[in-house]
Amino acid sequence: MTLFFSGCGLLGLGEEKGNSSSKIPEKGSVSGGKAMKIVVINSSPHSDDQSTSKYLSSRFIEGAKGAGHEVFAFDAANADTHPCRGCDKCGMDGPCIFKDDIENTLMPKMLEADLLVLVTPLYYFGMSAQLKTIIDRFYSRTSKLHGKKSIFMATSYDSADWTMEALSTHYKTLVRYMGWQDVGQVWATGCGARSLVERSEFGDMAYKIGVNL
Ligand SMILES: Cc1cc2nc3c(=O)[nH]c(=O)nc-3n(C[C@H](O)[C@H](O)[C@H](O)COP(=O)(O)O)c2cc1C
């Protein structure tokens, strides 16, 4: 059983608009009470204390760690990363030609993780290039990343009900292709500045997803 909340910061809780409703799991329903290995992928170039999306992930991490889960956080915007070149040397099942932070640090953590948390600011109604760079590099281990649990969190300036539609559809399609189980979503519209996201209900939603796992 999952609780759904509207993705628009200007709408009341429980009201659904568009296809981007935030989603919080019921307590213990995801982990069954066992400690999970969680990888959080941040992708905002803003600093930790200015970023709106990193505020959400920090609240999620606070909740998840408090509930006894192990969390590894990756900073895609400041790490050494390279976009997939489509060379196919990996054959979708092997090492990547790039020996960067994705291959050496993030990929081993993702392969052993139970849950992947993708976090992004909304950029032109999609995810940041920094996050897309990571996702395209899934190519080298697509089948090994199959079957994970996943969470998506995004922040945006706009608050119209269609603001997150394209991104939430992309996430839904990714979940389907990767054979993932989506266990939580936060679509924090109307949150273009740190003060706005801190005043919104979305930080508490992110915390609750973490603590409820
Ligand atoms: C390149 C760029 C593109 C953006 N595109 C959108 C957009 O399409 N819709 C929107 O509502 N906000 C857009 N924004 C605003 C950001 O989503 C918003 O400021 C967000 O809170 C930034 O999150 P961060 O502080 O974690 O980076 C854009 C910002 C930038 C820098």
With a cut of 50, say whether residue 111 has pLDDT above it: yes
pLDDT for residue 21:
79
Q: Is residue 14 in some structural domain?
A: no
With a cut of 90, say whether residue 162 has pLDDT above it: yes
Distance 73 CA to ligand 1 centre (A): 21
pLDDT for residue 92:
97
Residue nearest to atom 21 of ligand 1 (CA): 192
Residue nearest to atom 22 of ligand 1 (CA): 121
With a cut of 50, say whether residue 45 has pLDDT above it: yes
Give the C-alpha separation, 188 to 161, whole Å.
11
Residue nearest to atom 29 of ligand 1 (CA): 123
Q: Is residue 28 in some structural domain?
A: no
Give the C-alpha separation, 36 to 138, whole Å.
21
pLDDT tens-digit profile of 117-133? 999 999 999 999 999 99
Residue 68 domain boundaries: 42-212
Residues 7-36, mean pLDDT to the nearest whole number: 66
What Rg value do the Cα atoms of the chain yield, rounded? 16
Q: Is residue 30 in some structural domain?
A: no
Distance 39 CA to ligand 1 centre (A): 23
Q: What ranges in 22-160 are assigned the alpha helix state H?
A: 52-66, 101, 107-112, 129-136
Asked if residue 157 has its Cβ within 6 Å of ligand 1, the reply is yes
The band of 5, judged by pLDDT with boundaries at 50, 70 and 90, is very low
- The angle, 0 to 180 degrees and rounded to 10, between the axes of the packed helices 52-66 and 202-212 is 30
Q: Is residue 150 in some structural domain?
A: yes
Give the C-alpha separation, 20 to 78, whole Å.
28
Give the C-alpha separation, 114 to 35, whole Å.
10
Best residue among 52, 156, 199, 200 to mutate for probing ligand 1, ranked by most atoms within 8 Å of CB: 156
pLDDT for residue 16:
38
Q: Is residue 192 in some structural domain?
A: yes
The band of 7, judged by pLDDT with boundaries at 50, 70 and 90, is very low
Q: Is residue 158 in some structural domain?
A: yes
Q: Is residue 142 in some structural domain?
A: yes
pLDDT for residue 23:
83
With a cut of 50, say whether residue 69 has pLDDT above it: yes
With a pLDDT cut of 70, the percent of the chain lying above it is 91
Distance 121 CA to ligand 1 centre (A): 5
CATH of the domain at 191: 3.40.50.360
Q: Is residue 18 in some structural domain?
A: no
The band of 87, judged by pLDDT with boundaries at 50, 70 and 90, is very high
pLDDT for residue 19:
46
- The atom number, within ligand 1, closest to the CA of 157 reads 11
With a cut of 50, say whether residue 31 has pLDDT above it: yes
Average pLDDT, the chain: 92
pLDDT for residue 3:
46
pLDDT tens-digit profile of 182-211? 999 999 999 999 999 999 999 999 999 999
- The atom number, within ligand 1, closest to the CA of 189 reads 11
Tally of structural domains, the chain: 1
Q: Which two tokens stand for residue 102?
A: 């994705």
pLDDT for residue 102:
98
Asked if residue 185 has its Cβ within 6 Å of ligand 1, the reply is no
Give the C-alpha separation, 68 to 89, whole Å.
39
Q: Quick check: 194 and 136 in contact, CB under 8 A? A: no
Which H/E stretch holds residue 22? Answer: strand 22-25
Q: Which is nearest to 199 in space by CA: 188, 210, 208, 185?
A: 188
